[in-house]
Every structure is written in C-alpha cells, then in structure tokens.
Amino acid sequence: MRKWIGPRAAAVLTTGVAVTATVMAAPPAQAIVGGTESTHAYSFMGSFQPSYPAPPRPDGHGCGVEVLAPQWVLTASHCAGRNPTNAKAGVPKGWKVRVGSLDTTSGGEVAEVDHYYRLATSKDEGGFWGRDMALMHLRTPVRAKPVRIASATPADNTPVRIMGWGMTCDDSTNPACFPERLRQADTVVQPISTCPSHAASGELCIGSADGSVAASNMDSGGPALVRENGQWAVAGVVSGPDESGKTLYTDVTRHADWINGIISGANVPRDDQVPNVEGAADLGDCVGSVVSTPASRPRDPALLLTNGHCVQGQRPAPGVALVDQPADRVAPIADRQGYPQTTVRAERLLYATMTGTDIALYRLDKTYAQLKAEGAKVFHLASTPVRAGDPLTMAYTGGRLNCTAEAVVPHLREGGYQEDDSIRYATTGDCAPWHGTSGSALLAPGGATVVGIHNTHNDAGEQCTDDNPCEVGSDGAVTSVQGRAYGQQVYVLTACLTEGSELDLSHQGCTLTSATPRPDRHGSHSGDHNGNGPGAHKRSPDQHH
C-alpha cells in the first residue's frame, strides 16, 4: 500500500500539496535516501509554492515542477489538487513557482501560476494512478531553458537521475528535515513487477532495489531524467511511494499528446464549473459558518456555528453543555472558489452541547462590520424550524450538496447521546455527506440563511452505535438504516442570543440544554475531540481540504 501524504493512501510527497489529498493526515514516509546536494542548478527544475493550504515548512515548498515551455511547467496532478474544490482545470489563487535555482528561497526566477490542467483526479473512471500529472500555466514567461519530454518509455535498468527538495528525515516538526538546497540521486528504472503498488499501466518503478535510493515526502511532481542525445529529458514525475521502498512515477511519455495539445493551444480542456462555496469556514476536521441573528448589530463580535462534537478539547458530556469557555481556534472563511477571503480567530466558546442537539457556537475576534469590510460571507440564522420536504443546500468547504429534508425525526441516538427533532435527508441525488462534512451549514433556498447543520450519518447499518445513528419514533420503535444522514435544527439558538453576541440560557423561549447535568437525557456521540466521531473528518484522496 502506498503511504505518503496524498492520493496513494495517506501519503508522502507533499504534505498536502504533494500528494496531498486531502489531504489525509498521516505521518510522512521515509525521506529521500541516497541523495546528495546538487552542485549546480538545473534551469528547468523548479519548486511549486502554493499559498493555501500552505505547506508546513518555512520555505513554502510543496512539490517539484519542470519547465516544458516559457509559460508551462509540469508536475503531478495531486499537486495541482491543492485547489479547494478539487477542480480538474481552473484558475488558482496564490500559487507560484521558483525555477532555475538550487535554493527554494532565493535565486532563479519566480512566476505566478494563473491556470492549471490536471490529467486525472480521483473521481475519473479511467483511474488516477498512471495519470497523476498536471500542467500549470505561468502568468509571465520565464527565461529558463526548458527540458524535453523523453522520446519513449525508458526500459528496465535505464539510468535515471531524480531530484527535489523533499524531506530528509521523518520529523515534520523539525525544520532541519526540510532542505532548502536541491538534492539529487542517480538510480535506475526497475522492472514494474518489483513495485507491488503499481497501477495496471502508466507508471515507472524507480529507485534502488532495496529502496535505499528513492524520492521522499514533498518530492511529488519532481522528475525522473534520462539522457537523450547528450541532454536531459523528463521520462516521469513522482506520483507516490511503493511498499517496496522504491518510488512510482507517472510515465510522462505516454501522455505527450495531451501535454503538447495544451501547450500548443490545439486541445485545451475547458475550466471546470466551480461551485460557489463562499462562507464555509475550514475548521480542519469539521466545517463552520459565520452567522448573525435579528439581535446582531454591526459592532457586535461575530459568531461562528459548528457541531458540538467539533469542539477542541473535551467534548460536552451527556446531558450537559459547555458554556462560556476560553477558546483559541483559527479558521479561514472561504471566498466563492474556496480560497480564504479572510481569517478569523475564535476567542470564546459560548456554547456547545451534544444533548438534544449537536451544536457549538464560538465568538470571534472580528465584528460583523469588520467581516463585511473584508468581504466575508455572513449567513442569517433561521428562527423557524426545518420541515419535511424543505429543500436544503449543504455548505461544505469544497462544494455544495443538494439535499431535501425527507423527515423530521423525533429522536436520534448514537453511542449514547440523543438529539431531538433531527433532520433526515432524502437519499436521492447528490446528498451523500462523508466524514469531514460535520458542521456544514444547511442553507435555505437563496443561500443566505442557515436553517440547520449537518452532524452525522450511519456508516454500517448498526443500531445506535458510534457512527451509526438510529431513529427512535414517538412510539419507541428503533430504526437504523445504513447510509442515512442527519442534521440538526438551529432555530433554537435565536431565542438564546442577545445584543453584543451574548448567550442567555434563561432568556424567554430559550430551550437549550444548560450546563447542569440532566439525567433524563440519553448519552453521546463518541469519538475523540479531533472530529473522529460522528460526521468526523476522513478526507478522501484528492480532496483538499
């Protein structure tokens, strides 16, 4: 099984960019072994440095790139998968490359990326592995001498040179593991049969037989170079690790027509239609949204809504709520494309519970007026309940799901907790939330009002267990159906909020659970405090975010 940070499972070649994936959070694999620091620069070799999600290293390096033409660089598809909506082709924000330098922080030429084209994504029926390749267009031409595409797939035992700025040790918290100087190694193409993780076609197995020479985490998109007529030519780009310790590269020569068609302008793919994801707040393992109530004033601190099981630290115990507690949580608020429009910090956890409902409300460091000035989307909080038949839009950070409220369930139990008047979605259409969508706002038609919040779905069809919520009817009948998903009503919040973004649980009409234990209530969602319980975050390959 491939183990890097990225599509191949959980990945290595770019902490997020590379092999991002969405970026699954897994420890980096063994860093590049057998390499040495390059003694001279390669004009065509470059470092891809996206601004969001930013790679976790001071120099900003995420992936390798190769200059193929004055305004075109080649890399891996999963590197260009750092766009928030996983689009196959489109316009990025804040991407740049530094080419022609040994150093990721100085020298060479720096150019902005203004377009990208991915050969494949994880959603393609034709498969991703063997097609993990992308082209990025530069806003301005670079003077660097391009590298050619190799004329044919290199045969077994062909000498190749590999290079990059990948990690040199396993500790992602240690700056010394992130080299700023280019490293390289000479190795060979191995028989594909010696890389057990290889795809059916389209990949090269590269490295020493014992894995002592190979690419490393954050080398994604870097080249496998062969000599042709006394010059370097690129035969492959790093895709991901093989369980043998060697590296799997996408065979670039198989896709020369696709590359040349784009660079020449003869066959340029259309941009994907990107959904409007404005206003979604990325909380890492969950999603949130900034909401205002009829009592909110421009000068009041803004409020951020998410699930109770999404709070940091200790989750609310059964029958109780967390009220007015310190918080320190940063969240980017998405623009229409999903890139950060602005960033907020949650300074106070006003309220969180998983009893009766599953909601949490944070007070932010910015006022509604400030967020408006910064162009951030603020939603209205509904004051009326969702009813069966109501159309809903689930506002995830990377897309919008079209849902319908199929029923309002009297009671929903999971792992011991109980929520009341929960919203069950119809299973038709594209309303199929996954782990990681917890906290996503459910929007009324028009997209301006939050009427609910997604919180869980039944994974395995089990009855009332962790990640397997069950319905309890008014007659006590228990129903558990695999795949069913649920959200929580939010109108109950409006009666509890006053001017100044203050919470008043004694306010007339407020029915939220107080901080005092209530033994008549049923228990809780389970899972850890990082969102690994109901609706927890388990990103799939190629999802950024």
> In terms of DSSP H, where are the helices of 245-324?
256-264
pTM: predicted TM-score of the whole model, two decimal places: 0.81
SS3 content of the chain, % helix, strand, coil (to 5): 5, 40, 55
Fold category of 280-503 in CATH: Thrombin, subunit H (2.40.10)
Domain positions in the chain are: 36-264, 280-503
C-alpha to C-alpha distance for 120 and 130, rounded to whole angstroms: 9
Tally the C-alpha atoms within 13 A of residue 429's C-alpha that lie toward its C-beta. Answer: 14
Q: Does domain 36-264 have CATH number 2.60.40.1260?
A: no
- The alpha carbon dihedral of 21, 4, 177, 224 has a sign of negative
DSSP secondary-structure letter at 98? Answer: E
What's the pLDDT at 32?
55
8 A C-beta contact, residue 285 and residue 266: no
What's the pLDDT at 230?
96
What's the pLDDT at 112?
98
Count of beta carbons in the 10 Å neighbourhood of residue 372: 14
Which tokens sit at 172? 């992602």
What's the distance, CA 81 to chain centroid? 9
Cα distances (Å, whole numbers) of residue 493 to 47, 245, 296, 426, 506: 48, 53, 13, 25, 12
Count of beta carbons in the 10 Å neighbourhood of residue 505: 16
Q: pLDDT (tens digit, 9 = 90+) per residue, 8-42?
A: 433 334 333 333 333 323 333 333 567 899 999 99
Distance between start and end Cα atoms, the chain: 22
C-alpha to C-alpha distance for 64 and 73, rounded to whole angstroms: 10
Regions of the chain short of the pLDDT cut 70: 1-33, 516-545
3-state SS class at 283: coil
C-alpha to C-alpha distance for 124 and 269, rounded to whole angstroms: 15
What's the pLDDT at 516?
60
C-alpha to C-alpha distance for 100 and 359, rounded to whole angstroms: 51
Pairing label, strands 287-292, 340-353: unpaired
Residue with tokens 């290889």: 198
What's the pLDDT at 523?
38
Q: pLDDT (tens digit, 9 = 90+) per residue, 335-372?
A: 999 999 999 999 999 999 999 999 999 999 999 999 99
Pairing label, strands 449-457, 379-381: parallel
- The alpha carbon dihedral of 183, 545, 378, 362 has a sign of negative
8 A C-beta contact, residue 41 and residue 147: no
3-state SS class at 219: coil
C-alpha to C-alpha distance for 57 and 393, rounded to whole angstroms: 36
C-alpha to C-alpha distance for 442 and 440, rounded to whole angstroms: 7
Tally the C-alpha atoms within 13 A of residue 90's C-alpha that lie toward its C-beta. Answer: 17
Q: Among residues 514, 513, 493, which one has the least CA distance to residue 502? A: 493
Greatest Cα pair distance, the chain, in angstroms, is: 83
For residue 340, say if its preceding peptide bond is cis, omega within 30 degrees of 0.
no
